[in-house]
Amino acid sequence: MTDTKNTREYRPDTGEEWRALGFYHEPDQAHRVWRLVGSVSGLRTIVRMLASQADKASGETEPAALVVGPFNDFYIRIWERAGIDDESIHGSADDLRRLSEIIEQKLRGAAVGAEIAIGNEYAAGLEYTLLLAVRDEEFDPASQVPAIVNVPTADVEVIDDDGGEMVGTEVLPTLPFKFYDPEAFATVGEGLIRLESDRVVIEFQTKAAFFGLVESEVKEVSLPFDTISSVRFKRGVFSAEIAIQGRDMKTMDGLPTVKHGRVRLRFKRGLRGDAEWFATELERLGG
């Protein structure tokens, strides 16, 4: 399973929230699947949620995204085209209503232990598919909640103002991102970004947008702080963006989606706080 620890905060009432939802969900990034685990009656909650969001979209005002589950990393939202990605099920009101009907039909008579995949029948070229894992009616969704363990991060020495001995350690996160290019159509790039003592390091690979096939091996580009002209942070409803401007065209050489020496990186909603801190720190050190 993909690591969702940065976006999944455990609370004492988390188990009860999953029980109230009726099923448990978790993304499998390696296989690009959202796995929903529950009884038939529990899984029918997603049917009702899709239909409800479609009904809300019939009004004059576009409804806010509907959060699915207590971890705030999965949404149902109105969008111009049908799709499923690493954050949401989206589409027009008609799309969402049609998906609710597809799921309801597949759940009718589904046997305990069945795993029902939903993909192209909703939309072609999905980034992610849905996999409904059917359990018996006594199934407890809270039983699927994994232990929350902190993601290992590097310790960085903190030196006092006089350049003396180490006075403590500071945890610097490594953040996952996607390259953002509003004009891109055929490929998707994603990777990890981290700060080092004198540079920012970006590891990435590109994948075909429609089939998820790897188009490149993992590559790494290092940007010394003195090559960065400016850093801009933008917080959105569903994500955050960091735009890094190089001092010249050569600065970003090797990175995809770069335009005029500028690269734009998108971060999931659950990482908006970390991304804002990262941008502030990067601007202080470089921009």
150, 162 contact by CB (below 8 A)? no
Instruction: Tell me the β-bridge partners of 190.
Output: 178, 205
Q: What is the DSSP letter of 191?
A: E
**CB contact set of 59 (below 8 Å; sequence gap of 6+):** none
Instruction: State the Cα–Cα distance between residues 74 and 5, nearest whole angstrom.
Output: 14
pLDDT of residue 216: 62
- Domain residue limits, the chain: 14-144, 169-285
Gyration radius from the chain CA atoms? 21
Please report the pLDDT score of residue 265 as a whole number.
94
Report, in this order, helix, strand and coil percent for the chain, each rounded to 5. 20, 35, 40
The answer to whether residues 255 and 227 touch, using CB atoms and an 8 Å cutoff, is no
Average pLDDT, the chain: 81
Contact criterion met (CB below 8 Å) for 286 and 228: yes
Burial zone of 132 (CB within 10 Å; 0-12 exposed, 13-18 middle, 19+ buried)? buried
Query: What is the mean pLDDT of the segment spanning 268-276?
Result: 83
CA distance 37 to 155: 37
CA distances from 42 to 24, 120, 138, 140, 256 (A): 9, 24, 10, 10, 42
Give alpha helix (H) positions in the chain: 14-21, 40-56, 93-107, 272-285
> Is there a common fold for 14-144 and 169-285?
no
Q: Which residues of 91-108 are buried (b: 16+ CB within 10 A; e: fewer)?
A: bebebbbbbbebbbebbe
DSSP states along 200-256: EEEEEEEEETTT--B-S--EEEEEEGGGEEEEEEEE-SSEEEEEEEESSTTTTTT-T
Instruction: Look at strands 88-91 and 75-78 and give their pairing.
Output: parallel
Mean pLDDT lowest among 59-73, 201-215, 219-233: 201-215
Lowest mean pLDDT among 123-132, 145-154, 234-243: 145-154
Nearest to 196 by CA among 165, 162, 167, 155: 155
Q: Which of 41, 46, 189, 18 is closest to 118 using CA atoms?
A: 46
Query: Which range, 12-16, 81-85, 181-185, has the best average confidence (pLDDT)?
Result: 81-85
CATH of region 169-285:
2.30.29.30
How far from 186 is each of 40, 74, 125, 181, 192, CA to CA, in Å? 37, 25, 11, 11, 21
How high is the pLDDT of residue 4? 37
Kindly state the tokens that stand for 58. 């019939």
Residue type for position 192: L
Query: Tens digits of per-residue pLDDT, 34-79?
Result: 999 999 999 999 999 999 999 988 766 788 899 998 877 899 999 9
CB 238 within 8 A of CB 213: no
- What single letter denotes the amino acid at residue 204? F
For domain 14-144, the CATH architecture is: 2-Layer Sandwich (3.30)
